[in-house]
Amino acid sequence: MAQDSLRRQRLVVIGGSAGSLEIVLSIVAGLPALPHAAVLIVLHRKQSADSVLLGLLAGRTSLPVREVEDKDPLVPGGIYLAPPDYHLLLEGRHQFSLDDSEKVHHSRPSIDVSFESAAYAYGADTIGILLSGANADGAEGLLRIKERGGDTLVQDPATAEVYYMPQQALLLHPGHRVVAGNQLHQALLEYL
């Protein structure tokens, strides 16, 4: 138990856009209890669809799922969803904050913003996963995670509904681990 509490807390940040929803659900489905990690999901989505997505996620896991409000605490074991129309940042390792500044890559929430903020707060304890999408958001942020010693996974563009986003990340930095969409759940478990 004493040793357990010394284990490093990890933050899993998953970013996706067009064509990523099914993969996100498959990653989350059947996740075991996570005493040493929290999961943050940042998806490009329409403002009106918010409660739908929350319900879909909650239907696939017994872990608590919450759409983040400003200054919410980040608690291990939880799955957190970035709200529409705000960038999601971390204030240190245990608190979220929101920001409604300019869109990045035409997106708010921007995956880059959350990835960079996660890399800053969690450094090598960050696990970044970038999925299917039709824009370049996330590529820079994933590189920041890598630079700070975190683990980075990219959905194999060949298995992505829209290859552009994962491909951009790999063009910027070929060193990310490439994993087929249907293998990502299993791959993630290796780090937890």
Binding to another protein (CB under 8 A): which residues in 2-61? Answer: none
| Residue span 100-139 as binding mask against another protein, x where in contact by CB under 8 A, dash where not | xxx---------xx--xx-xxx------------------
Which residues 6+ apart lie within 8 Å of 90 measured at CB? 11, 74, 96, 97, 117, 118, 120, 121, 122
Q: HSE on the CB side for 52, CA within 13 Å?
A: 8
Q: Are strands 95-99 and 87-91 parallel, antiparallel or unpaired?
A: antiparallel
Stretch that binds another protein, among 14-22, 140-148, 154-162, 181-189 (CB under 8 A): 140-148
Which residues 6+ apart lie within 8 Å of 92 measured at CB? 121
**C-alpha span between 185 and 174 (Å, rounded):** 21
**Which residue number, 56 or 98, has a Cβ lying nearer to another protein?**
98
Asked if 90 is part of the footprint of another protein (rule: CB under 8 A), the reply reads yes
Active site residue 70: no
Active site residue 72: no
Query: Residue 15's beta-bridge partner residues?
Result: 42, 130
Active site residue 85: no
Point out which residues bind another protein (CB under 8 A): 68-71, 83, 86, 89-91, 97-102, 112-113, 116-117, 119-121, 140-141, 144
Q: Which residues are catalytic?
A: 17, 44, 137
